[in-house]
Amino acid sequence: MSTTTSDMDPHEASPEAYSEADVESLQLVWGQGFLSPGGPEAVARILEGVNIDGQEVLDLGSGIGGPSIELVKTFKAKRVLGIDVDQGNVNRAEQAVVAASLDNHISFRLVQPGVLPLEDMSFDIVFSKDALVEVREKNALFAEAFRVLRPGGWFVVSDWLRADGPISASLQRWVEFTASGDSPLSFYLASLSETAESLKTLGFVNIEVKNQNAWYREEARRELALKTGEFWPQIVALRGEQGANASVQFHRAMIEVLDSGDFCPSNFRAQKPKSS
């Protein structure tokens, strides 16, 4: 299955959307090498039941390299190619992989929004950790994942989704706050059922979507306590008091939509059929 450039997300990130202050302050809360929650344990949950030992993996939205390193170091992927639209992230990821002595197994590439510059059926696994929320047109990217997967390969993802039905007023306020506040990028939240239906329509099978809201409700409170407590002086030093306060406001607003059930961080997976 193929797509055209016009099918893809018109939203384009800045070549360096994440500043050094963004990266350093996010890693304080989310762990070295990670720009989203849960650290290595979250990678394990995404891969639960999927064996990537000896497999070739594409990491969509690879960030600063933490998940890619975990895929090789802990889960024994043969090769990982990480792709990202942020030049600064790619540079940081390359440095992290060299420092971990894994540059023979992991490489990174800067890409533009659009058709992936990759051959059909070139990966056993397509992996992504909390990056697809930044893509407006999910179907086009899901179609690209299907195209580059080998028959029988798995698309394994964690993403920030929302509850089924119309978007709530409180969730809309948080999304709008995010676009102008703590996050350097915009969020586009698909619903749980929209995600499953999109995968099915594209030809994926063995589809499973797991709502992780209960886990993240507790995790977000732990993160907020770190921001307002142990790491507060460092966040102020990195981002200034105004930026630090915006970061805390972001988390408090997020906890509100987690508690209401409107915001549904989720893990999902789907398999490309073994034969057409």
Residue 93 lies in a domain: yes
Contact 109, 83 (CB under 8 A): yes
| Averaged confidence pLDDT in the chain | 90
Q: Which structure tokens are listed for 70?
A: 């975990």
Q: What is the distance between the alpha carbons of residues 268 and 156, in angstroms, rounded to a whole number? A: 6
Compute the average pLDDT of residues 55-60.
98
pLDDT in the model for residue 201? 97
Residue 15 lies in a domain: yes
Residue 197 lies in a domain: yes
C-alpha to C-alpha distances, 198 to 138, 202, 225, 265, nearest whole angstrom? 8, 6, 37, 17
- pLDDT 10s digits, 244-253: 998 899 899 9
Whether the pLDDT of residue 8 is over 50: the answer is: no
Q: Is 94 helix (H, G, I), strand (E, B) or coil?
A: helix
Confidence of residue 185 (pLDDT cuts 50, 70, 90): low
Strands 56-60 and 263-271, by their bridges, are: unpaired
- Percentage of the chain lying above the pLDDT 90 cut: 81
Residue 223 lies in a domain: no
- pLDDT 10s digits, 73-104: 999 999 999 999 999 999 999 999 999 999 99
Contact 191, 181 (CB under 8 A): no
The string of DSSP codes covering 237-273 is HHHHHHHHHHHHHHHHHHHHHHHTT-EEEEEEEEE--
Contact 271, 204 (CB under 8 A): yes
Residue 225 lies in a domain: no
Q: What is the distance between the alpha carbons of residues 166 and 186, in angstroms, rounded to a whole number? A: 19
pLDDT in the model for residue 213? 97
pLDDT in the model for residue 275? 80
Whether the pLDDT of residue 184 is over 60: the answer is: no
CATH of the domain at 81: 3.40.50.150
Of 263 and 1, the structure prediction assigns the larger pLDDT to 263
Residue 26 lies in a domain: yes
Helix or strand (DSSP H, E) at 83: strand 79-84
Q: How many domains does the chain have?
A: 1
Residue 238 lies in a domain: no
Of 175 and 193, the structure prediction assigns the larger pLDDT to 193
Residue 174 lies in a domain: no
Q: Is 36 helix (H, G, I), strand (E, B) or coil?
A: coil
